[in-house]
Amino acid sequence: MNLRPLLLPLLLILLPLHAPPTFAAADSATTLHWLQQRLEREMSERAAGEWDWNLIASLLFPLARHQQRHPTAEDAAVLERAARRIDALDPGGLACGALTDRYLSGRFLEEAGFALQRQPERQRLAGCLAEAPRFDRANTLLLACRYGAPVEKPFIEQAAADLIAGQGEDGAFSDGGRSGYYLTTHAMLALHECGGHDAAVARAAGKLTRHLEPFLRQGFLDGLAESLIFLRWVGHPAADEARYRRALAQWTSADGGLCFAARPGCRAHWHATALWLELEDEAREDSPSKRMKKNDGRPTPSGG
């Protein structure tokens, strides 16, 4: 679930956190509606060949999970429309990043009860594991290990080894010598789901934990929210998570959206808002240290 940058914007590092706006934080129903509207706009106002699959997967993840937790006919109709639109599109021409996001979207929908006819192609996914940039490789690895996409074990093992080869001593993952926050979160989660890589996962979790307070000071709300969720999933929940959630809540607007970065006049962003809904839904279940297990009905985001 991601914007795929390899470096944090310099602005986030240099500028201090501004005082939050004065509006009251929205409830989860309002945030849910914000995400549904944004998904509908993407899929109805743009031609299918121009869809942003990163956005679609990132929105479907919390929407499908919310439907699993709190099923309603109205919310189901939104997901049903999305499923039919996705199934009508031939994924053959998609590049690896979009292809993996498309199949992750399908898995999210299926776990919420909306089956798709088009399933992952073994040869295409194996190629993505072998040749795609590490961020896309991490997501394809996640698709294989978490959701059982048809990929032979040697391809999975090689992709995992390649990710670990790109991890520095500080726990961050890199590609081509450039480290990146979103690559680190997604590689950590993929390795966790594949199993047998506890040391690499722990190093990455330590890196994220050390950056929670700097992210809060810098106003990097998207990174703060993603870190809190991913740390939960890999069994390293933040000790002071409630305080960070309260800080995030101060930057949610009356229409339910959350800003990507805490800046005066900031507008709600789809990625940060998707993370916010999932984080709040999980917090209400009061299970911060619960490990995300295979086949437990909990979807995993694509792009953070």
- Report in angstroms the alpha-carbon separations of 40 from 27, 154, 297: 20, 39, 24
What pLDDT was estimated at residue 148? 84
Residue type, 263: R
Provide the pLDDT for residue 130: 87
pLDDT at 176: 83
Q: Quick check: 300 pLDDT over 70?
A: no
The amino acid sitting at 29 is A
* Residue 288: pLDDT over 60: no
Q: Are 108 and 102 in contact (CB under 8 A)?
A: no
pLDDT at 120 over 80: no
Q: Residue 1 pLDDT > 90, yes or no?
A: no
Task: Tell me the DSSP string of the chain.
Answer: -----SS--HHHHHSPPPPPPSSPPP-HHHHHHHHHHHHHHHHHHS-GGG--HHHHHHHHHHHHHHHHHS--HHHHHHHHHHHHHHHTS-GGG--HHHHHHHHHHHHHHHHTT---S----HHHHHHHHHHS-HHHHHHHHHHHHHH--S--HHHHHHHHHHHHHTB-TTS-BEETTEE-HHHHHHHHHHHHHH-S-HHHHHHHHHHHHHHHHHHHHHT-HHHHHHHHHHHHHTT---TTHHHHHHHHHTTB-TTS-BBSS--TT--B-HHHHHHHHHHHHHHHTT-TT----TTSS----S--
pLDDT of residue 256: 92
Query: Taking residues 117-122, what's their average pLDDT?
Result: 78
Q: Is 12 in contact with 261 (CB distance < 8 Å)?
A: yes
Lowest mean pLDDT among 19-33, 204-218, 227-241: 19-33
pLDDT over 90 for what percent of the chain? Answer: 71
Band of the pLDDT at 6, cuts 50, 70, 90?
very low
Q: With CA atoms as reference, report the closest residue to 166 among 153, 156, 177.
A: 177
* % of residues, the chain, pLDDT over 70: 85
Residue 285 banded pLDDT, cuts 50, 70, 90: confident
What class does CATH assign to 10-284? Answer: mainly alpha
Average pLDDT of the residues in 227-248: 96
| pLDDT(29) > 70 | yes
Tens digits of residue pLDDT in 127-150: 888 889 999 999 999 999 998 888
The mean predicted confidence, pLDDT, of the chain is 86
pLDDT, residue 170, reads: 96
List of residues 6+ apart from 148 with CB closer than 8 A: none
The pLDDT tens digits for 252-273 are 988 899 999 999 999 999 999 9
**Token representation of residue 270:** 């789809």
User: pLDDT tier at 202 (50, 70, 90 boundaries)?
Assistant: very high
- Write down the pLDDT at residue 138: 95
Alpha-carbon distances, residue 240 vs 65, 155, 202, 244, 288 (angstroms): 24, 38, 18, 7, 11
Domain ranges of the chain: 10-284
**What is the band of 301 on the pLDDT scale with cuts at 50, 70, 90?**
low
**Residue 3 pLDDT > 80:** no
Q: For 153-185, how does the pLDDT look when each residue is reduced to its tens digit (9 = 90+)?
A: 899 999 999 999 999 999 999 998 777 999 999
